[in-house]
Amino acid sequence: MKTNFENMVFVANMGEDTISVLNLIKLEEIYKIELEDIFFYKIKKPALGPHHAVIDYNKRYLYITNSHNASISIVDLIQNKIIDNICVGSCPSHIVICKKNKTIYVSNTDSNSISVISLESRGLLAQIPVGRMPHDVKLSKDNQKLYVTNIGSDTITVINTATNDIEKSVYVHPNPYHITLNKEGNFIFVVNTSFSSRQGGSITILDSKNLKIMDRIRVGKMPVEAVIGKNENILYITDAELNAVNILDIKEKKLIDRVYVGRMPGCIEKDKKNQYLFVGNMQDNTLTVMNLKNLSILKNIPVGIEPSTIVCV
pLDDT at 313 exceeding the cut of 60: yes
The CA-atom distances, in angstroms, between 244 and each of 141, 156, 277, 300, 302 are: 30, 26, 13, 13, 18
Higher pLDDT, 91 or 5: 91
3-class secondary-structure state, position 285: coil
The strand pairing partners of 233, in sequence order, are: none
| Residue 41 three-state SS | helix
Query: For 192-240, what is each residue's pLDDT tens digit?
Result: 999 875 778 999 999 999 999 999 999 999 999 999 998 899 999 999 9
Q: 264 CB contacts (<8 Å, ≥6 apart)? A: 240, 243, 281, 282, 283, 284
More confident residue, 4 or 140: 140
Integer Rg of the chain from CA: 18
Kindly report the average pLDDT of the chain as a whole number. Answer: 93
220 — phi, psi (to 5°)?
65, -170
Which residues make Cβ contacts (< 8 Å) with residue 244, sequence separation at least 6? 220, 238, 258, 259, 260, 261, 265
Q: Residue length, the chain?
A: 313
Cβ neighbours for 144, distance < 8 A, ≥ 6 positions apart: 100, 160, 161, 162
CB under 8 Å to 68, separation ≥6 — which residues? 46, 47, 48, 49, 91
Choice among 98-102, 110-114, 195-199, 290-294 with the minimum mean pLDDT: 195-199
pLDDT band for position 39 (50/70/90)?
A: very low
Average pLDDT for 111-138: 97
The confidence band for 46, taking pLDDT boundaries of 50, 70 and 90, is: confident
Distance between CA atoms of residues 23 and 307, nearest Å: 16
**What's the pLDDT at 1?**
44
Question: Residue 110 belongs to what H/E stretch?
Answer: none
Rounded distance, CA 249 to CA 125, Å?
41
Q: For 239-252, how does the pLDDT look when each residue is reduced to its tens digit (9 = 90+)?
A: 999 999 999 999 99
User: What percent of the chain is predicted at pLDDT more than 70?
Assistant: 96
pLDDT value at residue 47: 87
- Answer for the pair 39, 49: CB distance below 8 angstroms, yes or no: no
Indicate if the pLDDT at residue 87 is higher than 50.
yes
At residue 172, the pLDDT reads 95
pLDDT at residue 302 greater than cutoff 90: yes
Lowest mean pLDDT among 124-128, 141-145, 192-196, 293-297: 192-196
Backbone angles phi, psi at 39, to 5 degrees: -60, -50
**Residues 250-271: pLDDT tens digits?**
999 999 999 999 999 999 999 9
**289-301 average pLDDT score:** 96
Residue 297's identity, in one-letter code, is I
- pTM value is 0.94
121 pLDDT tier (thresholds 50, 70, 90)? very high
What's residue 42's pLDDT?
54
Decide: helix, strand or coil at residue 185. Answer: coil
Tell which wins on pLDDT, 39 or 25.
25
Contact indicator for 131, 153 with CB cutoff of 8 Å: yes
pLDDT class of 37 with cuts at 50, 70, 90? low
